[in-house]
Amino acid sequence: MIQDIPGTEIEKKSFEIIDREAGDHGFDPLTWPVVRRMIHASADFSIMDNLVFKDDPVTAGIRALREGVSIVTDSTMLKSGLSVARLKRIHPVYGEGNIFCNIADPGVAEAAKAAGRARSVFNMRSLKEKIDGGIVGIGNAPTALVEICRLAREEGILPSLLIAMPVGFVNVVESKAMALALPCPLILMRGRRGGTTFVVAALNAIAVQALESMEAAA
C-alpha cells in the first residue's frame, strides 16, 4: 500500500528505515550520517562493506567547509549536485563560487589533445592551487585520482579532504590503492564501484554536519 507521507517528511522517514535495516553497523556518530546518505542515494546497503574512512575525514571536512576552502570536482555533474544554498550558509565564499571543475574548459581540452591524454588529468592539473588544502571529490575518472596522487608525490600538493570513488574497469582499483597511501584525510570506496552520486551524497552529508555544528555553537 502506498503511504501518504508529506514531502517534507520523506527523507526523515527514509533515514529511519535505513537506520532500522542497517542494524548494528559499527560506524561512529560522525561517519554514519555520511554512509546513511550514500545508502539513501543508492538504496544499496552493501556499500557499507566497501567504505574506508581514513584520518578522521568527516571532522576534517567539517572544519574545511567552515573555513571556506575551495572544492574541486572531476565532473560538472558532481559540481552541479552539491547544495550551494547549504554551502552558502556555512561560508559566504561558496555563494561567490569557490567550487571548481575545468573539465569543459577549452584550454584543458587543447592541452589534453596535444598530450594525447585524458582531459581529467589536465582538469586536476589546472586546479592544483585550489586542490592544495581544498576538498577534492573524484566520482568518475580514475585518471583524475592518479593525477591527484602524482601532485601529492611530486609537488607536495595535498587536499584537506579527498573523497575518492571513481568507477569502472581500467585503473580504478589501482588508483584507489595509490590514494590510500596519501597522507591526507580520505573517504574511499574499495573495488570497481563508485560514482558521482556517492561523492555528492558524501559531500552533502558533511555539509549538513558542518551547518549543524555551527547552529549548535551559536
Strand-pair category, 135-138 with 161-164: parallel
The backbone region for 156, taken as left when phi is positive above 0, alpha when psi lies in -120 to 50, beta otherwise, is: left
Coil, strand, or helix at residue 154?
helix
40 is catalytic: yes
* Under 8 Å between Cβ of 53 and 164: no
Strand-pair category, 135-138 with 71-73: parallel
Active-site hit among 15, 25, 40, 213 = 40
Joined together, the cell numbers standing for residue 59 give: 571532522
List, in sequence order, every residue forming a beta bridge with 51; answer none if it has no partner. Answer: 189
Long-range pairs of 177-183 with CB within 8 A, sequence gap ≥ 24: 178/145, 178/146, 178/149, 179/145, 179/148, 179/149, 180/52, 180/54, 181/149, 182/148, 182/149, 182/152, 182/158, 183/55, 183/152, 183/158
The residues annotated with a catalytic role in the active site are 40
